[in-house]
């Protein structure tokens, strides 16, 4: 169990939200809160850096979907970067690779079974 | 559950000899008999025990429902008799235990040969309707129960007396004095309630075995009127008044007590 | 500790008293004949003596504690003024007429009989016993009592000396502690009872969210299992098996995101929507479309709710069962074949149900023959933490199924349940299992090999 650690950084293109630790039932609320505080202009980009992500459950997925909805409402877009192999597999299984732009960690095996 | 360990049963004395079972009353445990046991053990086999909730009995076996009535205690006695395969027992009951003996003997008469009631009382509360003197008013008993509930009196561990060692009487051993009649206060309160609120006067007539009533000349807990009542109510009983003060002659006049029990137990029917 | 006196040593003390009062014989003369130095000393000494409680009588009678001496049978022989004042008795009322235990409350008398007196006889002294004395006006005085047996020169016990300390403050403090403890115990009892009640309510509720029993399907064996991660929360997994009316059967199994009552409420909506949709839909994918629309409509952007689900139909044909499934982001079904092999039924690319307006649900078909079993499961099984640390994976499940096959539906569920139990605390998610199989030709339903 690793506590969730979030850092936000503004860039010319938008914002980068770095996520480290467990994104789960207990911490999903904080993730949502952090996203809610990010104001984006139309055409800008929210980059969610999952490089430090250690765990993600269905509450985390829900929070991610809610984040996507929020970003789209502002006319902006979202991309997931440095996504760990395990998480990519889950996203693929859930069909979320069809609605999220995902950049996995380079060189990882990300094919789901079946 | 193993009855012998549950009730901290001790068997001593002469194997094969007639059995005397010593049953403690409220407020103490089998330790209260320690002065009479050596005398009785010379001629008899002596069985001692602690009711569940007292002394070193297995407190995990405590059942508030069961031990809230004299029947529950009688069941302890009968289960011990069954476990040790006893019959024709001389049951010696102190105070309320005398009534436990009456109840047990009514349920399984074949187990018991004789009954000795030491400072017995079938009912502690005065009954003015029948001119019965129990020794206490209802208000007295209320006060007693209320004070037990509030844990005073040293029953509670927090108020346990500091018992010093006994260099003059080394034969007693540190263990005896440190644990003398220690009791769980919650369970003591239930036992007290059962003891002091019960009325077994009508059960006395059911006794079918030879009975000895041993009372003390000066007993504030079971006054002389009670001894007389019991003697009159138990068919064919014998009454002996010990020249002793207090409610526990087995402690205050152990020689006389042991003598009377021994003589009664050893006599032909 | 204050000294005590009794009748015996009174005489000795009195003479000491007298001695202190009288000056030494030679002194008077000296005082008269000498000059100032001795005068000052004498005056100081006289003043000093006057300040001292040098009267043993006074010391005994007005001590800050109560003193009592009794014969061995408890009869009061001597009592000091302090104790008399506390009790509101006169000396005449007590000495020779009352016993020490007469001064105690009923409970105190009992304790005195069964503990105090025997211990005193056994060891010659007892100290620090908490008792309550009854005053003449009926009020109760909490005290601490210490008694010592005084023996004669031949070692025989003669009398009992007792010291009585006022314990009112200590008693009040103690009662406060006891009251606080009782309150805490009560609060704990109430909390425990509440918790029990909650568990009971949850259990009833949970049962209502699941099918009471699986229907009997001719020629088929079905078995199910449901485990909630926490007794304090309702689960978010769901499953069902039901007749479609024309000899066909519908089934589904899935997992709502989240936990607790919000997730459980969604399972209810999902079950009833999917059942109804399956009855009218042309194929399972269409049923999932309907469910998707229902969830989208019900739950909006800020509070998205989705589920993963696998839904399908069973069509009996000449002893076999033709299976059509569609998967909405759910782990693939596992097939245990009669020939001892096990493999997944691939349904990649299906999407979560309830998130997108036009999702894709991946269809697949297969045939179950006698001796085959299909297992549906939620990711509580594949997400469990194992004893070694890493989560149990789909590969591990595949391997395990391989050792199990061939197996009937109940046998499969039992084996999986055993596997779940072996995870112990590693199982931190809800888990649902549904196994559908055709019994092997020469066995009874679900019989073992």
Is C208 part of a structural domain of the chain? no
pLDDT band at B128 (very low <50, low <70, confident <90, very high): very high
Using a threshold of 3 CB pairs under 8 A, tell whether chains C and A touch.
yes
For residue C426, the model assigns a pLDDT of: 60
C58 vs B118, residue with greater confidence: B118
Question: Least CB-CB distance to C73: which of B177, B245, B248?
Answer: B245
pLDDT band at C54 (very low <50, low <70, confident <90, very high): low
User: Mean pLDDT over residues C72-88, rounded?
Assistant: 93
User: Mean pLDDT over residues B174-181, rounded?
Assistant: 60
Gyration radius of chain B over CA positions: 18
CB contact under 8 A, A95 and C332: no
Q: Where are the beta strands (DSSP E) in chain B?
A: 10-13, 19-23, 45-48, 89-94, 112-118, 211-218, 238-245
Assess contact for C343 and A114: CB atoms under 8 A: no
Q: Please name the chains neighbouring B, where neighbouring means 3+ C-beta pairs under 8 angstroms.
A: C
B261 has a pLDDT exceeding 80: yes
Residues C308 and C386 in one domain: yes
User: Mean pLDDT over residues A27-33, rounded?
Assistant: 91
Q: Exposed, middle or buried, A77 (CB in 10 Å: 0-12/13-18/19+)?
A: middle
CB contact under 8 A, C113 and B247: yes
- How big, in percent rounded to 5, are the helix, strand and coil portions of chain C? 40, 25, 35
Q: How far apart are CA C93 and CA C95, in angstroms?
A: 6
**Domain ranges across chain B:** 3-122+199-266
Assess contact for C339 and C293: CB atoms under 8 A: no
What angle (nearest 5°) sits at the alpha carbon of residue B164, between those of residues B158 and B166? 150
Domain boundary among the residues C146, C172, C198 is at C172
Is C192 part of a structural domain of the chain? no
Q: What is the CATH number of the domain that holds C311?
A: 3.60.40.10
C68 has a pLDDT exceeding 90: yes
Question: Least CB-CB distance to B153: which of C99, C107, C117?
Answer: C107
Residue of B246, B238, B195 whose CA lies nearest to B222: B246
Residues of B in contact with C127 (CB under 8 A): 161-162, 164
> Omega before C406 cis (within 30°)?
yes
Assess contact for C68 and C52: CB atoms under 8 A: no
The mean predicted confidence, pLDDT, of chain B is 87
User: Mean pLDDT over residues C55-83, rounded?
Assistant: 91
Is C67 part of a structural domain of the chain? yes
Residue of C372, C275, C242 whose CA lies nearest to C319: C372
For residue C14, the model assigns a pLDDT of: 43
Residues C156 and C226 in one domain: no
Catalytic residue flag (residue B219): yes
CB contact under 8 A, B152 and C113: no
pLDDT band at C49 (very low <50, low <70, confident <90, very high): low
ipTM of the complex model:
0.76
Structural domains of chain C, count: 2
Which 8-state DSSP code applies to residue B108?
-
Q: Which domain range does residue C25 map to?
A: 7-172
Residues C159 and C229 in one domain: no
Gyration radius of chain A over CA positions: 13
User: Mean pLDDT over residues C128-148, rounded?
Assistant: 88
CB contact under 8 A, C346 and A114: yes
Q: How many CB pairs under 8 A join B and C?
A: 113
Q: How far apart are CA C435 and CA C413, in angstroms?
A: 7
Catalytic residue flag (residue B24): no
Contact of C436 with chain A, judged by CB distance below 8 Å, is answered with: no
B245 has a pLDDT exceeding 70: yes
pLDDT band at C8 (very low <50, low <70, confident <90, very high): very low
Contact of C446 with chain B, judged by CB distance below 8 Å, is answered with: no
C389 has a pLDDT exceeding 70: no
For residue C22, the model assigns a pLDDT of: 44
Q: What is the CATH number of the domain that holds C124?
A: 3.30.450.20
User: What is the CATH T-level fold of the domain B3-122+199-266, as seen in this structure?
Assistant: Rossmann fold (3.40.50)
Residues C168 and C219 in one domain: no
C13 has a pLDDT exceeding 70: no
Q: What is the DSSP string of C104-167?
A: B-HHHHHHIIIIIHHHHHHHSEEEEEEEEEEPTTS-EEEEEEEEEEEE-TTS-EEEEEEEEEE-
Among left, alpha and beta (phi > 0; psi -120 to 50; other), residue C226 is beta
Residues of B in contact with C108 (CB under 8 A): 153
C428 vs B144, residue with greater confidence: B144
pLDDT (tens digit, 9 = 90+) per residue, A36-86?
A: 999 899 999 999 999 999 888 888 888 898 899 889 989 999 999 999 888
Is C449 part of a structural domain of the chain? no
A106 has a pLDDT exceeding 90: no
Separation in Å, CA of C307 to nearest CA in chain A: 9
pLDDT (tens digit, 9 = 90+) per residue, B12-58?
A: 999 999 999 999 998 788 988 999 999 999 999 999 999 999 888 99
Mutate to test the interface with B, among C123, C142, C146 (most CBs of B within 10 A): C123
Residues C225 and C311 in one domain: yes
Separation in Å, CA of C351 to nearest CA in chain A: 4
For residue B262, the model assigns a pLDDT of: 96
The mean predicted confidence, pLDDT, of chain C is 82
B179 has a pLDDT exceeding 70: no
Residues C405 and C293 in one domain: yes
Contact of C329 with chain A, judged by CB distance below 8 Å, is answered with: yes
Q: Which domains does chain A have, with CATH numbers?
A: 5-104 (3.30.750.24)
User: Mean pLDDT over residues B194-213, rounded?
Assistant: 94
Is C1 part of a structural domain of the chain? no
Q: What percent of chain C has pLDDT over 90?
A: 38
Is C123 part of a structural domain of the chain? yes
Residue appearing with tokens 């999986």: C416
Q: Which of B29, B76, B184, B219 is catalytic?
A: B219
Domain boundary among the residues C172, C197, C223 is at C172
User: Mean pLDDT over residues C228-255, rounded?
Assistant: 87
Residue of C186, C187, C348, C206 whose CA lies nearest to C263: C206
pLDDT band at C44 (very low <50, low <70, confident <90, very high): confident
Residues C30 and C152 in one domain: yes
A 10 A CB-CB count for B186 gives: 17
Q: What percent of chain C has pLDDT over 70?
A: 84
Domain boundary among the residues C122, C146, C172 is at C172
- The b/e string for C127-151 (b: 16+ C-beta within 10 A; e otherwise) is eebbbbbbeeeeebbbbbbbbbbee
Residues C360 and C267 in one domain: yes
Query: For A91-105, C65-79, C381-395, which range has the lowest pLDDT when averaged over its residues?
Result: C381-395
Positive/negative CA dihedral, C119, C122, C128, C131: positive
CB contact under 8 A, C349 and A58: no
For residue C213, the model assigns a pLDDT of: 86
For residue B171, the model assigns a pLDDT of: 53
Question: Least CB-CB distance to C304: which of A69, A94, A114?
Answer: A69
C387 has a pLDDT exceeding 80: no
Residues C129 and C251 in one domain: no
Residues C254 and C381 in one domain: yes
Is C373 part of a structural domain of the chain? yes
Contact of C132 with chain B, judged by CB distance below 8 Å, is answered with: yes
For residue B259, the model assigns a pLDDT of: 96
Contact of C398 with chain A, judged by CB distance below 8 Å, is answered with: yes
Question: Least CB-CB distance to B153: which of C99, C111, C175?
Answer: C111
Residues C102 and C245 in one domain: no
Residues of C in contact with A88 (CB under 8 A): none
Contact of C204 with chain B, judged by CB distance below 8 Å, is answered with: no
Using a threshold of 3 CB pairs under 8 A, tell whether chains B and C touch.
yes
Is C12 part of a structural domain of the chain? yes
| CA dist C101 → B132, B133, B253, C132, C406 (Å) | 23, 20, 18, 11, 84
C90 has a pLDDT exceeding 70: yes
Residues C330 and C239 in one domain: yes
């Amino acid at each position: 169990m690793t506590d969730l650690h979030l850092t936000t950084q503004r860039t010319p293109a938008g914002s980068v939200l770095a996520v480290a630790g467990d994104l789960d039932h207990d911490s999903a609320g904080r993730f949502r809160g952090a996203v809610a505080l990010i104001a984006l202009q139309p055409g800008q980009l929210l980059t969610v850096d999952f490089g430090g992500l250690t765990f993600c459950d269905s509450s985390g997925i829900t929070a991610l979907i809610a984040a996507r909805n929020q970003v789209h409402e502002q006319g902006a877009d979202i991309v997931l970067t440095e996504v760990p192999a395990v998480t990519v597999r889950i996203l693929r299984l859930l069909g979320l690779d069809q609605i999220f732009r995902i950049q996995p960690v380079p060189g990882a095996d990300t094919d789901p079974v079946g | 559950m193993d009855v012998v360990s549950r009730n901290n049963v001790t068997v001593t004395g002469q194997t094969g000899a007639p059995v005397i079972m010593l049953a403690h009353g409220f407020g103490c445990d089998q330790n209260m008999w320690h002065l009479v046991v050596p005398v009785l053990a010379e001629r008899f086999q002596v069985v001692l025990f602690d009711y569940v909730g007292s002394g070193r009995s297995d407190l995990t076996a405590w059942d508030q429902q069961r031990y809230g009535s004299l029947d529950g205690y009688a069941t302890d006695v009968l289960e011990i008799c069954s476990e040790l395969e006893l019959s024709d027992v001389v049951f010696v009951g102190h105070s309320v235990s005398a009534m436990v003996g009456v109840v047990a003997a009514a349920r399984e008469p074949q187990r018991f040969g004789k009954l000795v009631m030491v400072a017995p009382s079938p009912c502690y509360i005065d009954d003015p309707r029948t001119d019965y003197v129990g020794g206490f008013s209802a208000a007295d008993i209320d006060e007693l129960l209320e004070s037990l509930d509030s844990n005073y009196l040293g029953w509670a561990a927090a108020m346990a007396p500091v018992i010093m060692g006994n260099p003059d009487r080394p034969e007693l051993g540190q263990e005896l004095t440190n644990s003398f009649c220690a009791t769980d206060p919650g369970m003591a309160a239930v036992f007290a309630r059962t003891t002091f609120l019960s009325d077994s006067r009508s059960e006395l007539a059911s006794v079918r075995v030879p009975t000895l009533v041993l009372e003390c000349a000066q007993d504030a807990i079971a006054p002389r009127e009670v001894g007389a009542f019991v003697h009159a109510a138990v068919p064919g009983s014998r009454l002996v008044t010990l020249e002793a003060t207090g409610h526990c002659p087995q402690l205050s006049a152990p020689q006389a007590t042991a003598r009377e029990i021994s003589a009664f137990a050893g006599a032909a029917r | 500790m204050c000294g005590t006196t009794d009748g015996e040593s009174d005489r000795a003390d009195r003479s000491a008293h007298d001695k202190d009062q009288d000056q030494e014989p030679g002194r008077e003369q000296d005082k008269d004949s000498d000059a100032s130095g001795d005068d000052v000393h004498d005056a100081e000494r006289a003043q000093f003596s006057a300040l001292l409680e040098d009267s043993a009588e006074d010391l005994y009678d007005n001590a800050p504690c109560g003193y009592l001496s009794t014969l061995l049978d408890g009869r009061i022989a001597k009592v000091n003024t302090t104790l008399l004042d506390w009790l509101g008795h006169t000396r005449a009322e007590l000495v020779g007429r009352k016993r020490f235990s007469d001064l105690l409350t009923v409970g105190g008398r009992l304790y005195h009989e069964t503990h105090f007196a025997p211990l005193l006889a056994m060891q010659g002294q007892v100290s620090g016993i908490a008792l309550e004395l009854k005053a003449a006006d009926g009020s109760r005085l909490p005290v601490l009592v210490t008694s010592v047996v005084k023996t004669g020169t031949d070692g025989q016990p003669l009398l009992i000396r007792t010291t009585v300390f006022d314990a009112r403050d200590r008693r009040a403090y103690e009662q406060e502690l006891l009251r606080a403890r009782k309150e805490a115990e009560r609060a704990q009892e109430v909390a425990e009872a509440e918790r029990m009640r909650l568990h009971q309510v949850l259990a009833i509720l949970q049962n209502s969210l699941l099918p009471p029993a699986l229907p009997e399907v001719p020629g088929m064996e079905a078995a199910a299992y449901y485990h909630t991660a926490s007794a304090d929360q309702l689960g978010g997994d769901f499953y069902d098996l039901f007749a479609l009316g024309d000899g066909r059967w519908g089934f589904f199994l899935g997992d709502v995101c989240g936990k607790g009552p919000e997730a459980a409420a969604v399972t209810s909506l999902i079950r009833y929507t999917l059942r109804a949709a399956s009855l009218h839909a042309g194929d399972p994918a269409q049923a999932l479309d309907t469910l998707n629309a229902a969830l989208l409509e019900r739950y909006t952007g800020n509070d998205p709710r989705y589920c993963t689900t696998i839904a399908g139909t069973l069509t009996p044909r000449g002893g076999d069962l033709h299976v059509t499934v569609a998967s909405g982001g759910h782990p693939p079904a596992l097939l245990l074949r009669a020939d001892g092999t096990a493999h997944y039924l691939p349904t990649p690319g299906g999407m979560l149900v309830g998130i997108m307006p036009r999702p894709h649900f991946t269809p697949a078909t297969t045939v179950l023959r006698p001796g085959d079993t299909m297992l549906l499961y939620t990711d509580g099984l594949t997400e469990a933490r194992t004893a070694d640390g890493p989560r149990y994976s789909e590969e591990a499940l595949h391997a395990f199924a391989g050792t199990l096959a061939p197996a009937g539906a109940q046998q499969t569920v039992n084996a999986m349940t055993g596997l779940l139990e072996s995870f112990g605390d590693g199982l931190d998610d809800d888990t649902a299992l549904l196994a559908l199989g055709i019994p092997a030709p020469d066995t009874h339903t679900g019989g073992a090999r």
